[in-house]
Amino acid sequence: MIYVDDIVVMCAHKRDYRQFRDQLASSFTITDLGALNWYLGIGVDLSRRGRIEISQTEFARQFAKITGATRPNVFFDSPAPVNLDVSKRDCPDPDSDEATVMKRIPYRNALGSLGWLVLGTRPDLAQVYSQLGRVAANPGLVHWKLMQRVGYYVRDTVELGIVFTRASRAVERGTLVAYADASWADCKDDRRSTSGYLLIVGGNVVAYKSVLQKCISGSSMEAEYVAAGTAAKAVVPMRGLLQSLGFAQEEPTVLYQDNTASISNIEGESPSSRTRHIDLHYHYVRDLRERKIIAPVWVASEDMAADALTKALGPDAFLTQRTILFEAPKLPRRLEEEC
């Protein structure tokens, strides 16, 4: 006897779905649950033609409750202050009263819940989640206060989710583009930099990440170069997935960066003396460019869609970036004018 959990089936046409369902039913006892509306704690809204929305409303409420975000008169327009500084300097001494207090505070529970939101439908929380995770081994009250701020922000944005729409132009349908950005030496503990990348298919956000770089970069160019390498490694499997779905990428995937020095280094015939010390796996981006799998393209900083994945922004800039993350950016203005 075999038990199989729920299966999500995606088909371009209803007749294909019915054929697949009937073939499965001929061999197994199955239950057709109809159109998808809930899966792994993620709500799916298919009510509007040509538009799919996914969100984690109930789980977001649970996260806010874990953090104790209950005061009705507390509001935040962004999950983190613009001068965010999560440091191990604020971790308590193991024998201190603060450490004793922190043992009763569900920091790691909240962090795990925040991570699930980020993994599912909340790219706007990716950067602060990366920051808070750096002190998970020994968090202090300062870090818990920031976690509570995130809780209040989430409490008031529980219905936020990623929106998928049909591509507005035929040229965009199934086309993969990537954005890569970095915040140089922003970790005050060891001066490592933060990488952020965003993958977009047909104008829709499909993957994103904010991560502390493993090496120390000696310049902003190096940090951007490492970020490009991280993004490029995510591009390759996504191109393979799209090919298996019938959307083979005939052209190199455009990789947008706002650092001309990094792009020049990617396009150079050999690594410059300034980057030879960088780990070899980051130079992988150069190999992908030579094989015409990626194509680095400069974009103005105001059009950098991955900006909110690398640093805490002010309220106005954050809200602009949040719209991009949830509804996907248009082509950068310079490129739209060329089309």
The highest-level CATH class for domain 169-338 is alpha beta
Q: What is the mean pLDDT of each run of 10 residues along the chain (339 residues)?
A: 77 90 91 90 89 95 96 94 92 96 97 97 97 97 98 96 80 86 94 96 93 92 94 97 93 96 84 56 84 96 94 93 80 49
Which amino acid does the sequence have at 196? G
Q: Quick check: helix, strand or coil at residue 22?
A: helix
Beta bridge pairs of residue 69 = none
Indicate yes or no: pTM above 0.85: yes
Query: What string of DSSP letters covers 270-289?
Result: S--TTTTTS-GGGTHHHHHH
Convert the pLDDT of each residue in 220-240 to its tens digit: 999 999 999 999 999 999 999
Element (H, E) at 232: helix 220-244
- Other residues' Cβ atoms within 10 Å of the Cβ of residue 235: 25
- Strands 294-298 and 253-257 turn out to be parallel
Query: How confident is the model at residue 274, as a pLDDT?
Result: 56
Domain ranges of the chain: 57-155, 169-338
Contact 258, 301 (CB under 8 A): yes
The string of pLDDT tens digits covering residues 10-68 is: 888 889 999 999 999 998 888 898 889 998 889 999 988 888 999 999 999 999 999 99
Q: Is 101 helix (H, G, I), strand (E, B) or coil?
A: helix
Q: Say what the pLDDT of residue 50 is.
A: 83
Q: What are phi and psi of 92, to 5 degrees?
A: -75, 155
